[in-house]
Structure 1
Amino acid sequence: MKEDLKASPAPAAVLATDARRRWLLVGAGAVAGLAGAGLAAWRLNLAPARVDVADDLWSASFEGVDGKPLRMAELRGQPLLLNFWATWCPPCVKELPLLDRFHVQQSAKGWQVLGLAIDQPANVEKFLQRLPLQFPLALAGLAGSDLSRRLGNERGGLPFTVLFAADGSILKRKMGELSEQDLADWARLA
């Protein structure tokens, strides 16, 4: 009986092939990482706020979750953190307790926090039964999405937060989830 013996490749050739494979995988990973970073930068990039947005914002009115109208003009004159959110948005839901703590800590210093829900009233009502919040919330619907876009959120992503000075000018804007550090930095601005 004859055995079929194959010559095994030389160890140096195997090592060279493994090294090439590794470099190809590292290169492919780097390209994917750069593409992801580019996509994130594009998604999170904000356009300038439209010139007429201040007039639109301060003349707007939204339905509060209590059913009463919430007039933006009544919030002018103090620093305002305006947060666009939705119940179906995981980063929005995650940052709400942080915004609630910020409201409690900063309201004595004249700060205001307002959450504009880009959502259905029934969803917001049900959500608030599970997670009650102390800061004011209003139902913004499509008007809130339009306002968000005019404030520079062209892609309409959530969460989106805008910090206004007491004079109504925009100090900061952020697309994406806020951090405690963001809020600590913003608290020193206004």
Structure 2
Amino acid sequence: MKRMVLSLFVLTGFFTHAYSQQVEEVTVRQLLQRVNQQNDSVYVVNFWATWCGPCVEELPVFSADELHQNQKHLKVLLVSLDFKSQKEKTLIPFIRQKKMEQEVLLLNERNPNDWVDLIHPSWSGAIPATVIYKNSSSVFHEGELNLHELKELIKTIHH
């Protein structure tokens, strides 16, 4: 009986862990330090929020198998602009419900006027917005992206 209970406990823990990822809180400076590394990685950074309809519609594009084929150095970071106070109540349950496997970060900044230009000078602050970084280069897109558009943006940073 003890083995069965232990097995059930371990299995339950495994399945809840699969979608209970931690959501790290980062500042813009921490985010930029992470994506501006001189290495082989291409970082796709999408700014979104659970309350943004177009953002939620766009999310599956970033986990599409077709996007990740032949892209061993592609790293996707989904940066939530949800309020920090909504992290436990809204953001983490949303991630679990949608079974999101990409890394989700929560932006820990207050005034967008202080940091939007640091991401990209042409960004109005509207979401969704996506920036692709490779070494010291970046490509910016404001608005929704489909899979084809995202793949084309990634190609431009490779060359």
Specify the alignment match of 1:158 in structure 2. Answer: 127
Structure 1 residue 104 displacement after superposition = 6.4
CA distance, structure 2, for counterparts of residue 79 and residue 144 of structure 1: 28
- Contact 1:103/1:135 (CA < 8 Å) preserved in 2? no
Q: 1:99 to 1:148 in 2, by over 3 A?
A: farther
Counterpart of 2:44 in 1: which secondary structure?
strand
- Contact 1:103/1:112 (CA < 8 Å) preserved in 2? no
Counterpart of 1:82 in 2: which secondary structure?
strand
1:130-149 → structure 2 map (5 Å cutoff): 130-142=97-109, 145=112, 146-149=114-117
Structure 1 residue 188 displacement after superposition = 2.0
Structure number with greater CO (CA < 8 Å, separation at least 6) is 2
Q: 1:154 to 1:163 in 2, by over 3 A?
A: closer
Q: 1:113 to 1:131 in 2, by over 3 A?
A: same
Specify the alignment match of 1:181 in structure 2. Answer: 148
Q: Gapped runs of 5+ residues in structure 2?
A: 1-20
Counterpart of 1:149 in 2: which secondary structure?
helix
Greater strand percent: which structure?
A: 2
- Contact 1:84/1:160 (CA < 8 Å) preserved in 2? yes
CA distance, structure 1, for counterparts of residue 111 and residue 62 of structure 2: 19
- Contact 1:153/1:160 (CA < 8 Å) preserved in 2? no
Q: Is 1:66 aligned with 2:22? A: yes
Specify the alignment match of 1:51 in structure 2. Answer: none
- Contact 2:132/2:154 (CA < 8 Å) preserved in 1? no
Counterpart of 1:188 in 2: which secondary structure?
helix
CA deviation map 1:110-153 (0-9, x unaligned): 01111110003132112112112121110004359443333135
CA distance, structure 1, for counterparts of residue 92 and residue 81 of structure 2: 13
Specify the alignment match of 1:92 in structure 2. Answer: 55
CA distance, structure 1, for counterparts of residue 44 and residue 111 of structure 2: 15
Bigger CA radius of gyration: 1
4+ residue stretches of structure 1 with deviation over 4 A? 67-71
CA distance, structure 2, for counterparts of residue 126 and residue 185 of structure 1: 32
How many residue pairs get aligned? The number is 124
Name the amino acid aligned to 2:129.
Answer: F
Identity among equivalent pairs (%):
24
Name the amino acid aligned to 1:156.
Answer: G
- Contact 2:24/2:104 (CA < 8 Å) preserved in 1? no
Q: 1:114 to 1:89 in 2, by over 3 A?
A: same
